[in-house]
Amino acid sequence: MFSGISASHGIGIGSICVIEEHDLHYDTAKIEDVAAEKKRFEDAVEQFKKETAEMAEDIRKRIGPKEAEILESHLLMIDDPTMSGEMQKLIEAGQCSESAVEAVCDMFIGMFSQMEDEFMQQRAADIKDIKVSLLKILLAVEDVDISKVPPGTILVAKDLTPSMTSQIRKENVAGIITEVGGKTSHSAILARALEIPAVLSVPKITEVVKNKDTAIVDGTEGIVYIKPEGDILSQYIIKREDFIKKQAELKDFFGKETTTADGIKPELFCNIGTPKDARKVIECDGEGVGLFRSEFLFMDNAVMPTEEEQFNAYKEAAEIMGKKALIIRTLDIGGDKDIPYLHMKKEENPFLGYRAVRYCLGNQEVFRTQLCAILRASAFGKVKIMLPLVSCVEELRAAKELISEIKVDLEQNGMSYDRNIEVGCMIETPSASLIADILAKESDFFSIGTNDLTQYTMTVDRGNADVSYLYSTFHPSVLRSVKHIIDSGKAAGIPVGMCGEAASDPLFIPLLLSFGLNEFSVNPALVLATRCVISKWTKTEADALSEKVMSLSTEAEIVAVLKEAVKE
């Protein structure tokens, strides 16, 4: 048995096909004819764009527009002067096209790979895909035609790039196993869209399997079996049938209210990263947006986005959501998210440094531009403002004062905005948790960011394998913190949401119902599954479980009790 990351739920049983990596070595000798080399490079780029556009169109027809955007983003990247222009400069300096492509792509890959934010790490994976595709074209390397694998195939690869995944035919591929990748990688997104079970980041799996080996891919648990024994195979055939049945039942929750078994109705929102993601919220029956990460506008630009550019992006999302809530998180940079044109200082410990609301309050021109854009967009929907990484009430007051000043400016310029726009705090630091009762008196709402709250509460770098065993939302200290935040919100009469991964965890949901969480914000793809879990619990049942859990001393004891209580 091998373990990895659960990237796409389901059970896949079939025969392995190993996707071999190509030899992409090339001659690095200095070129003599620069003009001819530039022409060779430009021809390769044109071929790349043509092939990528064709793949994107195929995905649009077979899967959907949202998934097609993954490959369309590759076209935008290669057209960006900061990428293709730098490659051209290196060719003009005498480097061959292959060397220029590799050097520029590796620079961007290195920059994005160092960021802890998974959304930005995916940029590194996308650029790596672009690099490999361009090198294959330049070196005339034939790609594997994944579309022609036989039915019942389990694909195994070091990495399955979006361009490779786009060739997959759902009827032929029973499962996917890779050595790298995570839940938010574009390959994982495509696998989920195709409803193909996938387990990623299985160490050295390509070295231990052979073509035509029988394999089981348990995409729900993140487990892989190679050449399984008869009894395990029999168990998984039954599990696969049960999973298919349960997935069909989830469709019954589309269009229904989110409600517990005894009639309590929390809101079920979604987390998004771009305006176009708002369409996915509607498609997946989400009831609003609990977290719109605004960093995308800044990370995807070579220069500071203008007020108008930001306004148009927020307005697009607001109009798509209509009367449904759109909570926009103000710029959350620093730590793992460095933006060159903002000239942020190098810090020894950036995660505890000048980031998020701290940076914004210290750079009011940047902050004012964004707040003005959000306020203007609030005239087109139910927009709310959320401040990230709040540590003290002074930060909340300073931001609200700046918002008040901008409102006066908008009034004087005759610009429309929501005069009653709500301003809330993202509670993700231990200090904010401890003074939640104070913050609640001056906030319109709370949203708990469990990822950072857990990391900071447990003093754990969640990217450090040596201490990862301590990173758990189920630790008694984290649970007590979450309960205190919700209790503080209730006492002040403000709604409390959760936009961290824990909001969609079936083990965590009954505790949140017991604590009185008002709003669950999850990945759009998990809306129906979360609604289904919520529907199975009564408040009385959740309270009984919560009372038992909160009396326990260790994370292991808590998880054991919660697993035993799971409702099938």
Q: Which tokens in the block code for residue 280?
A: 């996915």
The answer to whether the CB of 520 falls within 8 A of the CB of 498 is yes
Single out the catalytic residue among 105, 270, 284, 499: 499
| Number of residues written out for the chain | 568
Distances (CA, A) of 292 to 76, 253, 349, 485, 523: 22, 24, 26, 21, 11
Based on the residue annotation, tell me whether 343 is a catalytic residue of this protein. no
The distance between the two most distant Cα atoms of the chain, rounded to a whole number of Å, is 79
Rounded to whole angstroms, the Cα distance separating 191 from 170 reads 9
Distances (CA, A) of 95 to 26, 98, 105, 216: 12, 8, 14, 47
Encoded amino acid at 343, one letter = H
Rounded to whole angstroms, the Cα distance separating 185 from 5 reads 11
In terms of Cα–Cα distance, which of 142, 543, 82 is closest to 339? 82
Name the burial class of residue 93, with classes exposed (0-12), middle (13-18) and buried (19+) by CB atoms within 10 angstroms of its CB.
exposed
Half-sphere exposure (CA, 13 Å, Cβ side) for 345?
9
Supply the DSSP symbol for 556.
H
Strand, coil or helix: 187: helix
Radius of gyration of the chain (CA): 25
Rounded to whole angstroms, the Cα distance separating 174 from 187 reads 15
Single out the catalytic residue among 186, 360, 372, 475: 186
The answer to whether the CB of 88 falls within 8 A of the CB of 35 is no
Supply the DSSP symbol for 473.
T
The answer to whether the CB of 200 falls within 8 A of the CB of 191 is no
Rounded to whole angstroms, the Cα distance separating 351 from 336 reads 7
Based on the residue annotation, tell me whether 392 is a catalytic residue of this protein. no
Burial 18-37 (b: 16+ CB within 10 A, else e): bbeeeeeeeeeeebeeeeeb
Rounded to whole angstroms, the Cα distance separating 437 from 486 reads 10
* Catalytic residue numbers, as ranges: 186, 499
